Chains A and B, each alone.
Chain A
């Protein structure tokens, strides 16, 4: 799990559906710098959309939504989080829920967590071949 690069890209936006496209675009832009195929970038984009919508539906009282991107040797990690949730997070029926099903078809791994009161969804997508760090 140890990262071999320290690059982290963070973007924070107001927790509104209208800003999701910003996070989507940044994800695609960072992904495009890695050896990630076009198909996978489109999948990631859909996944970020889905993850944001999922959190937004549960975070009406939130005041911020943050995307954190971590390009690693063999994968790109994208974590979306909000700063407050109205209900329990992760939701009780997690793996049965539709967003989970959709996300699992789009990315390689998903983990759903709450850290310091921030509900988050972390997605990873593998790169084509291990890239060399520069």
Chain B
């Protein structure tokens, strides 16, 4: 798309400068710049991946950073835009993590409880032939029911990468487990209003939604079928539902509104 990964050559730089000179009034020039540098935003977002934030969110944050960089860049300054943009985007990503700091720092002890819960859930479910109660989980883990609840809540509020790791041997990447049925949720009664949003969902999220709301599987069954922990299924569901709610209310969330090039994000 553009040459952001290698040093930007003089031709690109000329194009770049040309485009910046047409700002701020020329919307098309702005859009072209966004398109040129979106791969940079995505690349930087990926560097912050695996810290508990969904990549899509990070890409959005990075895109906001890119837009800010474009608006603030001064061509007269002796600095390449890519350098300036990278600094701005990284700043935006860091700020995002700092703002969410309360959530990222899930106490280590609760993380450990979470790991134990993840480990005992499948075995207890199998032994009992149903999903275990919190008390049963607590007894098996040797933790208090309060700690089990705390871990459930912490995982909801925040994912920690370790808890997200695929369960089971080899850790088959979830995508490998995705099955053949084509969940066309949008044709189903009641869901038509969110059809466009459903289409925007990553395949795994769509599938979890489909399994829970149309096939009526329980969260533990979905966990087994999709190849992630049950805590993760629960988090996927909660995030997906809140995403869909945002899509129904016209207001949406501020980040999505601040990001006028959403369609481009999906193409790269």
Specify the chain B residue showing the minimal Cβ separation from A128: B133
The reply to whether A49 and B242 form a contact with Cβ atoms under 8 Å apart is yes
Residues on the B chain within 8 Å of A25, using CB = 149, 153
Whether A98 is near chain B, meaning CB under 8 Å from some CB there, is yes
The reply to whether A46 and B237 form a contact with Cβ atoms under 8 Å apart is yes
Specify the chain B residue showing the minimal Cβ separation from A97: B190
From 62 to 121 in chain A, residues with beta carbon under 8 angstroms from any chain B beta carbon are 96-98, 100-102, 105
Whether B30 is near chain A, meaning CB under 8 Å from some CB there, is no
Given A32-B145, A37-B132: A98 touches B193 (CB 8 Å cut-off): yes
From 12 to 67 in chain A, residues with beta carbon under 8 angstroms from any chain B beta carbon are 21, 24-25, 28-29, 32-33, 35-43, 45-46, 49-50, 53, 57
The reply to whether B134 and A46 form a contact with Cβ atoms under 8 Å apart is no
Residues on the B chain within 8 Å of A36, using CB = 133
The reply to whether B238 and A46 form a contact with Cβ atoms under 8 Å apart is yes
Given A28-B152, A32-B148, A98-B248: A39 touches B238 (CB 8 Å cut-off): no
The reply to whether B241 and A105 form a contact with Cβ atoms under 8 Å apart is no
What distance in Å separates the Cβ of B253 from its nearest Cβ neighbour in chain A?
A: 10
Given A39-B220, A41-B134: A101 touches B213 (CB 8 Å cut-off): yes
Specify the chain B residue showing the minimal Cβ separation from A105: B213
Name A32's contact: one of B134, B190, B194, B230 (CB within 8 Å): B134
The reply to whether B149 and A57 form a contact with Cβ atoms under 8 Å apart is no
Residues on the A chain within 8 Å of B156, using CB = 24, 45
The reply to whether A38 and B134 form a contact with Cβ atoms under 8 Å apart is yes
Question: Chain B, 146-179, contact with A by CB distance < 8 Å: what is the 0/1 string?
Answer: 0011001100110000000000000000000000
The reply to whether A38 and B248 form a contact with Cβ atoms under 8 Å apart is no
Name A98's contact: one of B133, B137, B191 (CB within 8 Å): B191
From 199 to 218 in chain B, residues with beta carbon under 8 angstroms from any chain A beta carbon are 212-213, 216, 218
The reply to whether A38 and B135 form a contact with Cβ atoms under 8 Å apart is no
Given A49-B241, A98-B193, A98-B194: A38 touches B230 (CB 8 Å cut-off): yes
Residues on the A chain within 8 Å of B134, using CB = 32, 38, 41
What distance in Å separates the Cβ of B207 from its nearest Cβ neighbour in chain A?
A: 16
Whether B78 is near chain A, meaning CB under 8 Å from some CB there, is no
CA distance A96 to B194 in the complex (A): 13
Residues on the A chain within 8 Å of B234, using CB = 42, 45-46
What distance in Å separates the Cβ of B140 from its nearest Cβ neighbour in chain A?
A: 12
What distance in Å separates the Cβ of B125 from its nearest Cβ neighbour in chain A?
A: 8
* Residue contacts A-B, CB under 8 angstroms, 29 given: A21-B153, A29-B149, A32-B149, A33-B145, A35-B135, A38-B132, A38-B133, A38-B220, A39-B131, A39-B218, A39-B219, A39-B230, A42-B152, A42-B219, A42-B234, A45-B156, A46-B241, A49-B238, A49-B241, A49-B242, A50-B241, A50-B245, A53-B242, A98-B190, A98-B193, A101-B189, A101-B191, A102-B241, A128-B130
